A and B are shown apart, each in its own frame.
Chain A
Amino acid sequence: MKLITKKNIIPVICITYTIISIVLTSLEVFVKGKINPTQVNIFLFLLLSILGVGVLSQHYRLERFSPLAMIIIQYMIAIAIILASLKTASYFTEIHPNGYRDMALSFSVPYFIGAVIYYISLRLEVRKQNRIIEKIKKNKNNNLMP
């Protein structure tokens, strides 16, 4: 049986890379007994990834909210997590005075561009669906009416 297939090759590479990076970095920190800013970054992004995936995995719990409300709720949770993570990191390494603002901006701008793209694609999709529904109903009527 083939364990690595075309479908899972990318996730397998990502998992392998993550495990190797985290294990080797942890080992280096453990052996040397001190941590440098690059290593802090590696652990910070691991934490961010875990939190991000955790937030997204709870997506189904927000089903009762509208997509707009969900986008705002997820944004607020994500930005709170990012800023809290940055604050935590500041105890281990020095953060630039503009670090919080830059981090918030570099997350917010792509996030809201994504939200606008989602809104536009939704409107286009609904327009297309309306055309299909009209066509289905028209076909049915044409075939059944004398």
Chain B
Amino acid sequence: MKVNEYQQKDIPEDRIDFYYRTKTKEVNDILDYLRKHSKKLAGKINNKAVRFSLNDVYYFESVDKKTFAYLNNEVVRIDIRLRDLENAYFEFGFIRVNKSTILNIYKINSLISEINMRVIALLDNGEKIQINRSYKAKFNSFLNTMDKGGFQHETDN
């Protein structure tokens, strides 16, 4: 694949045009990454407005009807309901794993089955998130879909 990059200071915003002959898995992965990276969310840290990339989110959590996005070292409060986040970003690897948490599967380091039969997701930043058994079947089928190439057919339409 030929890659060219140009610097042009007078354009209103950065832009990527991607030309391909066939929409292969590789192309889809790159497009997914670009779309996900270009997805910016707005939120607040200590009442200060911030913008962050969806790629940087480890998980979303709802606490006392408030939604938070957990980044590597920061927690950002956002004004989007958990259900809306789940519907909007499932194709980017976000899946609900318990009543109050939506997890980015790309940030999972490994899964651990504990002696008490609980399944815990160990994240790249060392945090642990519990995968509840009532969400297990959905999580399994989600992983299988992602393994088979994700939800491209749905995003293409």
Q: Name 15 extra pairs, CB < 8 A, besides A71-B117, A140-B33.
A: A67-B133, A68-B116, A122-B117, A123-B113, A125-B140, A132-B146, A133-B105, A133-B111, A133-B143, A136-B147, A140-B106, A143-B26, A143-B33, A144-B30, A144-B33
In the complex the two chains form, is A66's CB within 8 Å of B33's CB?
A: no
Query: Which residues on the A side are within 8 Å of B112 (C-beta)?
Result: 126
Question: Within B103-157, which residues are at the interface with A (CB < 8 Å)?
Answer: 105-106, 108, 110-119, 132-134, 139-140, 143-144, 146-147
Bound Cα distance from A46 to B108, whole angstroms: 47
Using a CB–CB cutoff of 8 Å, the interface residues on chain B facing chain A are 25-26, 29-30, 33, 105-106, 108, 110-119, 132-134, 139-140, 143-144, 146-147
In the complex the two chains form, is A122's CB within 8 Å of B116's CB?
A: no
In the complex the two chains form, is A119's CB within 8 Å of B117's CB?
A: yes
Q: Nearest-CB distance from B146 to chain A (Å)?
A: 5
A132-B147, A144-B33 known; A68 and B110 CB under 8 Å? no
Query: Which residues on the A side are within 8 Å of B26 (C-beta)?
Result: 143
Chain B CB within 8 A of A4 CB: no
Using a CB–CB cutoff of 8 Å, the interface residues on chain A facing chain B are 60, 63, 66-69, 71, 118-119, 122-123, 125-126, 129-130, 132-133, 135-137, 139-140, 143-144
Nearest first, the 9 closest Cβ-Cβ pairs linking A and B are A67-B117, A66-B116, A143-B29, A68-B116, A126-B113, A68-B117, A66-B118, A132-B143, A132-B147
Q: Nearest-CB distance from B156 to chain A (Å)?
A: 17
Query: Which residues on the A side are within 8 Å of B113 (C-beta)?
Result: 122-123, 126
In the complex the two chains form, is B143's CB within 8 Å of A136's CB?
A: yes
